[in-house]
Amino acid sequence: MTVALGVTAFCLVAVFGLLPVGLKANQNSISQTAAASILSAVIADMRATPKSASSSVQFGITFGTETTLYFDNEGKPSSSLRPNSRYQLKIRFPSNGSGTTAATFADLKVTWPAAAAPENALGSSEVFAAFDRR
């Protein structure tokens, strides 16, 4: 009986030791999924913008101008950092000197937490996209 209790105690200590690792992995996957959803929504908004318009409808992103947006846990955007901001999205437009028929490039990077500098962020997700704006 004592040996069985000892083995059980040893196994329980090992399982309880793994709980924080599992919770951290779960939290990271939730943040990565939210970041991917933000990137997907922003790119869809930019792709749906008519060629005649200079800025996107939903997020107000002006093509060619570096933009920073902040998102809360529910995915609601704001143009300034707020106490409930969780994610920071930076959009850069690298030049493409291929002439008048060249695509418009955009580098989108989501980092979290929003208040952290990108080099100190806990996580990030980045996408490079091309848009036919000509």
Phi, psi torsion values for 62, nearest 5 degrees: -85, 120
Number of folded domains that form the chain: 1
Instruction: Look over the chain and give the mean of its residue pLDDT values, rounded to a whole number.
Output: 90
- The answer to whether residue 122 scores a pLDDT higher than 70 is yes
- Written as six digits, the tokens of 102 are 């060249």
CA 63 to each of CA 21, 46, 85, 129: distance values in angstroms, whole numbers, following the listed order: 41, 9, 24, 12
Closest of 110, 66, 106 to residue 88, by C-alpha: 110
Confidence of residue 102 (pLDDT cuts 50, 70, 90): confident
* Domain assignment of residue 117, given as a range: 2-131
Rounded distance between C-alpha atoms, residue 74 and residue 130, angstroms: 27
99 has a pLDDT exceeding 70:
no
In this prediction the pTM is 0.83
